DNA sequence: GATTAACATGATAAAGTATATCATTTCATT
DNA sequence: AATGAAATGATATACTTTATCATGTTAATC
């Protein structure tokens, strides 16, 4: 993701937008809340307002640049929409998130939708639990 | 669900708890937000406080009497935990919720967890879309 | 059935997440 | 460089949910 993508979305290329996109592109953790992003940028000495972070993320979502997920815990998290569709495993101890994709589940969802006369626009599959043998580093 | 279940959860049998449980048991819509419940009870002429509704629902959830789901839209919804585990299709137009269960998806989730050395504690699968040929009655 | 201690309620305050407002600033085009 | 349109950010506001605490209710004991 780069400035070109911001322009393609019909948005001006501004400092806050570039900084947020860079952070999402380069951060080790792919899933960041608006407040995560705000604090990380402040920590890097960047000047940015929390309202701008929320506003820009919503615009990016509308433009298809990022996806918003509602994991448990109140705050929505965002990730770049560069990768193919995938679902998530969320560790309830460390907060670690692993992405996965399974063709069987995807097809089965479509089959079930057909059976119920339902047209799927979006879906959310999240497995909550813990990675076996992993210690509680962050929580 | 009945008063016996409240007692079994280690909670006193109080008017608010009975009313909430009755409403969840008898309502046509199985998935109600705390505010839904609050307003429905007020509409029935019952006296209850919103704080009590939230408190009781959280207690019921801890006791395993209800499940809490985070559909899109900000407010959590609650349903009785009497039924077997199931997932949800949510109509983005009418808000209608249909429950489904699919053994293939369940097994596949377990298989994927095994592959990732992950122990599933809980999971959330929600399909968002619309029921074909259904009109927009409530939205 | 009355007493009483523990528990529960509900009005309100407060916390937390997210959006709306609007004067000021930045962008990008002329 | 000038200028109009768009964006920012401080702050106010909305909204969902939890915390506080004086008052009321429950249920166990006498």
Same domain, B8 and B61: yes
Same domain, B9 and B76: yes
Percent of chain A with pLDDT over 70: 96
What's the total number of domains in chain A?
Answer: 2
Nearest C-alpha of chain B: how many angstroms from A119? 5
Residue B73 DSSP symbol? S
Report the CATH number that the domain containing residue B113 is assigned in CATH.
3.30.1490.190
Q: What is the mean pLDDT of residues B99-125?
A: 96
Same domain, A58 and A18: yes
What is the extent of the structural domain holding A21?
3-80
The reply to whether A135 falls in a domain is: no
Same domain, B21 and B71: yes
At residue A36 the predicted structure's pLDDT band, cuts being 50, 70 and 90, is very high
Pick from B108, B117, B129: CB nearest A113: B129
At residue A135 the predicted structure's pLDDT band, cuts being 50, 70 and 90, is low
Same domain, A54 and A103: no
Pick from B109, B118, B127: CB nearest A109: B127
- Tell whether the model's pLDDT for residue B139 goes beyond 80: no
Same domain, B98 and B38: no
Q: Which residues contact A40 (CB under 8 A, 6 or more apart)?
A: A23, A27, A32
Query: Smallest CA–C1' separation from A11: which nucleotide?
Result: D6
Structure confidence at residue B138 (pLDDT): 44
Q: What is the mean pLDDT of residues A34-44?
A: 96
Check: CB of residue B72 under 8 Å from CB of residue B112.
Answer: no
Q: Which residues contact A67 (CB under 8 A, 6 or more apart)?
A: A61, A78, A79, A80, A81
Same domain, A15 and A71: yes
Structure confidence at residue B84 (pLDDT): 85
- Tell whether the model's pLDDT for residue A83 goes beyond 90: no
Same domain, B23 and B52: yes
Nearest C-alpha of chain B: how many angstroms from A3? 30
Please give the sequence-ordered ranges of beta strands (E in DSSP) within B37-96, or none if there are none.
66-69, 77-80, 87-91
Mean pLDDT of chain B: 92
Q: How many CA atoms lie within 13 A of B74 on its CB side?
A: 1
Same domain, B48 and B63: yes
């Amino acid at each position: 993701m780069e400035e070109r993508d911001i322009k393609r979305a019909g948005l001006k290329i501004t400092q806050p937008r570039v900084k947020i996109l860079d952070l999402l592109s380069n951060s080790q953790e792919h899933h960041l809340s608006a407040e995560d992003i705000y604090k990380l940028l402040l920590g890097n000495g960047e000047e940015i307002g929390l309202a701008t972070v929320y506003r820009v993320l919503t615009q990016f979502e509308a433009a298809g640049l990022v996806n918003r997920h509602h994991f448990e815990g109140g705050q929505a998290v965002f990730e770049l929409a560069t990768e193919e569709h995938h679902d998530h495993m969320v560790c309830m101890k460390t907060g670690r998130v692993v992405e996965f994709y399974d063709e069987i589940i995807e097809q089965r969802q479509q089959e079930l939708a057909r059976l119920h006369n339902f047209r799927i626009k979006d879906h959310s599959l999240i497995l909550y639990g813990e990675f076996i043998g992993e210690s509680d580093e962050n929580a």
